[in-house]
Chain A
Amino acid sequence: MSSPQGRHRGDGARAPDGAAALEVELAELRERLAEAEETLAALRNDQVDAIVVGEKVYALVGADDAATRMRGEVLTQMEDAVVATDLSGCVIYMNPAAERQYGHEASAVLGYSWERLYHQSWLAEGDSEACTAAQEAGGAWRGKVAHVTGAGRRLLVECTFSRMSDAAGTHTGYLSVLRDISARADAEAALAESEALLKFSLDAARVGLWSINIESGAADGSAHHDACFGLAEPPPGWNLQQLLARIHPEDRLQVDEALRAAIGRRADCHFECRVVWPDHSIHWIEMHGNAYFKAGRPARMVGIVSDVTARRRADEALREADRQKDEFLATLSHELRNPLAPIRTAAHVLSSEHLTPELHARSVAIIGRQVGHMAHLLDDLLDVARITRRRMVLKKDYIDLREAVETGIEEVRSAIDAKRHKLVLALGDAPVWLEADPVRMAQVVANLVNNACKYSNPEATIHVAASCMPDGFCELVVRDTGIGMSAGALKSVFSMFAQEEAVIDRAEGGLGIGLALVKGLVELHGGSVRASSPGLGRGSTFVVRLPASAGPVAAEMGAAQAPAGAAGQRTARILLADDNADAGESIATLLRMQGHEVAVATDGASAFEMARASRPQLMLLDIGMPGKNGYELARLIRQEAWGKNAFLIATTGWGQDEDKAKAIAAGFNAHLTKPFEPNALFGLINAHLAR
């Protein structure tokens, strides 16, 4: 058949003789004829589905084609991929959905193994065996399998695998219906993720979900919802009535109305209310709800709920603190105003024509005492603020607690004397050493003793003891026989503006911050303070414990105790500059009383002129002055020959370290923070003169 004579232009046909050529042609014609006959036979035997005439194609409809065509059209229309194979696994049919799903045209795959379409893997163990078993039993296996297409696309496929048989019941192949559910699986995964996120958010926010069937009243909720009602698990038969029953009686009506109003107005509802837990404790919850309607009728109410007890309590605490602050401010104004009346009276007496030496002395004493009292109040206030804001700086030294006790008692001597209290001291013979700020320790003692005085009847006895304990601490004990304290008052005795004692505190005067200050100061020193009382009317005892110290080096003691005494006093020429003429003149008067020769200037420029004229040894310069301020003035003076050796003291209302550093940088020798103790000024002057 495929011999060389078949080739039209082949080498073998290059020089045929006439007979041979004819033979070839004849064979070719016979072949053509055979082909034509075969074509006709095929047409007759219904083996042909279309005929071609010219460029037109005519489809032929065979006898059995109606049913076949319908089946074919059904399969063509199907959304699911359908693939049929013969017994050897060759693809004998695939519908357009299968062509799309696997990216191959049927014409390229028919007759090849199904493995050309996809690689299949079973998802669960035993699926493969179950599939075989189902097919052998004559049925179909439904399940999910994973496919990878020829292009590498991964599909999750919901499949039905079944056996095909012909009319005689002979097993002829397999039919696979393959639905790509990757998109559905992705959507399901996204939904699951979204639900997990929602659950996480609700859990993290401790928010519960609830739902009420409006017609039947049946209700349910999540675990957080149950927890809001103090329930460990969902109560059986939970419904709207049960829910309302657990709401605090005073809030129940309001909640019922809120729910009804939300349904009636088709609006959201939102409220906070109290609930009573099974253990009878009261908690606050916050509920948000939303009604859902079905066919115009309210069907369900769905919402969230959370426990807001902590926030409610914090709100209440805040309101209480605010109330206490207001009360404190009222007390403060009252306390600051109190000393003004006697001062005004005393000033009036002093300016009177009938002033006698006795009246003079008494008025001066009144003014001194009342100013001292006001200063004390303000100092306490500032100190408490400093401790609260952690701005308190301790100037620690080795001190004898017994000396602090004596200093502290002197500070409140007037209070002791006013009510004729009897003071019993138990200080021992040996020093009680500790490392502490002596001023602050005296303040602790003063406040405790002052407190004892306030809460004791006149002529009561107050005990003060200081001692070293064997455990390395020293103790300061202040005991009174006064009104004592209830157990409730003991708890808050050291807190600011303690309210239990408010009434008494008010009656006795004072701000009620003394003990808070004591606690703050003691704790700054690494110590502790506690109060005890056998009960109301039976006195109180305060015990301060502080870490003891081994004691100072003797030399340091001497230096620390150097007095700003008046011995060896000499006089000097002093220039004083202050734009507040009264302030300048009052200090000038004090200095003149010490024998100094003092000139006063009220602005920077005239101060410089006066200094150049009189060349004072000492100058006391205010920083905040019009024209030239203190810093500028000091720099100018230092540039002059006469000013090189003068002693310059800066006075300012600002006492921060940086203010002092600025003064030194400008040429000052020393810095005093206003208002300053006259003794501090004298000390500076005397120290300079003694050099």
Chain B
Amino acid sequence: MDTRARTSAPAEPEYVLTLYVFGSASPKSARAMVNIRALCESLVRGRYRLTVVDIARDAAAAARAQIVATPTLVRESPSPLRRLVGDLSLRDLVIEKLGLPRPREASAA
């Protein structure tokens, strides 16, 4: 039973992302959230995990992750670690930096 439970446990998602924001009311942080979610939902739905960390509430988390400005998106996995600063509105750049499948590939997948 234990063995089966372990083997049937959901695997770690392919893309593990953390978005550091400064409150959800800030337009830039809000835009970053909207942009990264919209992008992931359209390209890697079901294959990613996005965690939003509000440094207005948890400044220590920003220091731990060596964040210098918000919004910053961190690709935790796959390695190597990657950081993207800004509202993530440049879609193609974000795709390239995160190594996400291109829209064509996504539709083929």
| Given known A-B contacts A111-B33, A111-B36, A49 and B80 have beta carbons under 8 A apart | no
| Given known A-B contacts A49-B22, A111-B41, A57 and B59 have beta carbons under 8 A apart | yes
Residues of B within 8 A of A2 (CB): 78-80, 99
Judged by a CB distance under 8 angstroms, whether A670 is at the interface is: no
Query: Chain B 66-108, CB within 8 Å of chain A: the 1/0 string?
Result: 0111110000001110111111000000000001000000000
Q: What is the interface of chain B mostly: helix, strand, loop, or mixed?
A: mixed
Stretch from A88-96, A140-148, A474-482 that touches the partner: A88-96
Judged by a CB distance under 8 angstroms, whether A45 is at the interface is: yes
In the complex, the chain A residue whose C-beta lies closest to that of B55 is A57
CB pair B30–A93 under 8 Å, yes or no, is yes
Judged by a CB distance under 8 angstroms, whether A6 is at the interface is: yes
CA of A229 to CA of B58, assembled, Å: 77
Residues of B within 8 A of A68 (CB): 27
CA of A68 to CA of B27, assembled, Å: 8
CB pair B33–A107 under 8 Å, yes or no, is yes
| B55: contacting residue among A52, A111, A112, CB under 8 A | A52
In the complex, the chain B residue whose C-beta lies closest to that of A113 is B41
CB pair A39–B79 under 8 Å, yes or no, is no
Residues of A within 8 A of B87 (CB): 47
CA of A618 to CA of B31, assembled, Å: 126
CA of A35 to CA of B25, assembled, Å: 26
| Given known A-B contacts A57-B59, A106-B30, A42 and B86 have beta carbons under 8 A apart | yes
Residues of A within 8 A of B59 (CB): 52, 55-57
CA of A8 to CA of B86, assembled, Å: 27
CB pair A76–B25 under 8 Å, yes or no, is yes
CB pair B27–A72 under 8 Å, yes or no, is yes
CA of A112 to CA of B39, assembled, Å: 10
In the complex, the chain B residue whose C-beta lies closest to that of A106 is B24
In the complex, the chain B residue whose C-beta lies closest to that of A38 is B85
CA of A106 to CA of B85, assembled, Å: 20
Judged by a CB distance under 8 angstroms, whether A31 is at the interface is: yes
CB pair A52–B37 under 8 Å, yes or no, is no
In the complex, the chain A residue whose C-beta lies closest to that of B98 is A1
CA of A293 to CA of B28, assembled, Å: 60
CB pair A52–B70 under 8 Å, yes or no, is yes
| A49: contacting residue among B28, B33, B38, B60, CB under 8 A | B28
CB pair A92–B79 under 8 Å, yes or no, is no
Q: How far is the CB of A465 from chain B (nearest CB, A)?
A: 112
Q: How far is the CB of B49 from chain A (nearest CB, A)?
A: 13
CB pair B69–A31 under 8 Å, yes or no, is no
In the complex, the chain A residue whose C-beta lies closest to that of B36 is A111
Judged by a CB distance under 8 angstroms, whether A51 is at the interface is: yes
Instruction: Tell me which residues from 33 to 58 in chain B have a Cβ below 8 Å from any Cβ of chain A.
Output: 33-38, 41, 52, 54-56
CB pair B52–A47 under 8 Å, yes or no, is no
| B79: contacting residue among A6, A47, A108, A110, CB under 8 A | A6
A42, A45, A47, A76 pick with most chain B CB within 10 angstroms: A47
Residues of A within 8 A of B60 (CB): 55
Residues of B within 8 A of A506 (CB): none
Judged by a CB distance under 8 angstroms, whether A54 is at the interface is: yes
CB pair A59–B83 under 8 Å, yes or no, is no
CA of A112 to CA of B60, assembled, Å: 28
CB pair B56–A57 under 8 Å, yes or no, is yes
CA of A90 to CA of B60, assembled, Å: 31
Judged by a CB distance under 8 angstroms, whether A7 is at the interface is: yes
Judged by a CB distance under 8 angstroms, whether B17 is at the interface is: no
CA of A108 to CA of B19, assembled, Å: 11
| A57: contacting residue among B22, B25, B41, CB under 8 A | B22
A51, A56, A76, A86 pick with most chain B CB within 10 angstroms: A51
Residues of B within 8 A of A86 (CB): 34, 38
Judged by a CB distance under 8 angstroms, whether B16 is at the interface is: no
Residues of A within 8 A of B54 (CB): 107
Judged by a CB distance under 8 angstroms, whether A43 is at the interface is: yes
Q: How far is the CB of A117 from chain B (nearest CB, A)?
A: 14
Q: How far is the CB of A448 from chain B (nearest CB, A)?
A: 106
Judged by a CB distance under 8 angstroms, whether A105 is at the interface is: yes
| B33: contacting residue among A28, A76, A110, CB under 8 A | A110
CA of A286 to CA of B85, assembled, Å: 84
CB pair B34–A39 under 8 Å, yes or no, is no
Residues of B within 8 A of A38 (CB): 84-86
CA of A55 to CA of B67, assembled, Å: 10
In the complex, the chain B residue whose C-beta lies closest to that of A45 is B86
Judged by a CB distance under 8 angstroms, whether B63 is at the interface is: yes
CB pair B63–A55 under 8 Å, yes or no, is yes
Judged by a CB distance under 8 angstroms, whether A48 is at the interface is: yes
CB pair A31–B80 under 8 Å, yes or no, is yes
Judged by a CB distance under 8 angstroms, whether A181 is at the interface is: no
In the complex, the chain A residue whose C-beta lies closest to that of B27 is A68
CA of A585 to CA of B26, assembled, Å: 124
CA of A31 to CA of B97, assembled, Å: 11
CB pair A50–B80 under 8 Å, yes or no, is no
CB pair A90–B34 under 8 Å, yes or no, is yes
Query: Chain A 57-74, CB within 8 Å of chain B: the 1/0 string?
Result: 101000000001000100
CB pair B63–A52 under 8 Å, yes or no, is yes
In the complex, the chain B residue whose C-beta lies closest to that of A107 is B52
CA of A160 to CA of B35, assembled, Å: 26
CA of A643 to CA of B68, assembled, Å: 131
In the complex, the chain A residue whose C-beta lies closest to that of B84 is A38
Other CB < 8 Å A-B pairs besides A86-B34, A112-B41, 6 of them?
A38-B86, A106-B25, A110-B24, A111-B35, A111-B37, A112-B37
Give 17 A-B contacts (CB < 8 Å), ordered by A residue. A2-B99, A8-B79, A38-B86, A43-B69, A48-B69, A50-B22, A50-B69, A57-B22, A57-B55, A57-B59, A59-B26, A88-B38, A105-B24, A106-B24, A110-B33, A111-B38, A111-B41
Closest 4 CB pairs of A and B: A111-B37, A47-B86, A50-B22, A106-B24
Chain B residues in the interface with A (C-beta under 8 A): 21-22, 24-31, 33-38, 41, 52, 54-56, 59-60, 62-63, 67-71, 78-80, 82-87, 99
